[in-house]
Amino acid sequence: MRGTGQNATRMNETFRLHVEALHPAYERLIASAPFKYADLAKQRVPERGVYLLTEGGRHLYVGRSGNIRQRLRSHCAVSATHHKAAFAFRLAREACGVPKATYKPEGSRAHLMTQEHFQAAFEAQKARLREMDIRVVEEVDPNRQALLEMYVSIALGTPYNDFANH
């Protein structure tokens, strides 16, 4: 039976190894040279890992992806839709005073995108994201990616990460 006997008071060895790798990866992320979205094509960006978005020295959001380059395009590209640019959509909701998402027709994502003022806010927030500093660190293991995303978010207090159940 799991969790009983001699090992009940010790951390799982595999998990412990993952945890011990978090802080060094965090330090590599923080020490990495920031770049802007406009410079993405020129950057050596790892395929898989964790990225950090910072504005004016304030760390706002940390994410993870199996394709960082594509994920950053999803956040920032002019053509990115509200389905792909979730962070910009959240910032637009905040800018428009719509703090909570809803699944009702009124106030839904689709409904908000029919509102001209919301569309303008969404476009403005994608432009804002394009001006943020981006840092990346490679992490190929998806479990360690998830742990690192949480670790960085907690360590930096990123205000836009939400690990609540939906």
Burial of 151 (C-beta count, 10 Å sphere; 0-12/13-18/19+): buried
What per-residue confidence (pLDDT) applies to 14? 92
Interatomic CA distance for residues 75 and 105, integer angstroms: 24
The two structure tokens encoding residue 72? 């950053």
The answer to whether the CB of 34 falls within 8 A of the CB of 134 is: yes
Mean of all residue pLDDT scores within the chain: 92
* Each residue's pLDDT tens digit, 88-100: 999 999 999 997 7
| pTM score, whole prediction | 0.90
Averaged pLDDT for residues 35-40: 97
Q: Residue 126 in contact with residue 85, Cβ under 8 Å? A: yes
Q: Where are the beta strands (DSSP E) in 22-139?
A: 49-55, 58-65, 133-138
State yes or no: pLDDT of 165 exceeds 80.
no
- Residue 153 neighbours by CB under 8 Å, 6+ apart: 62, 161, 163
pLDDT digits (tens, 9 = 90+) for 143-161: 999 999 999 999 999 999 9
Q: To 10 degrees, what angle do helices 116-130 and 86-95 make?
A: 120
> For residue range 112-133, what is the model confidence (pLDDT) as tens digits?
999 999 999 999 999 999 999 9
Radius of gyration over every alpha carbon of the chain, rounded to an integer in angstroms: 18
Q: In the prediction, which pLDDT does 9 show? A: 74
Res 6: pLDDT: 58
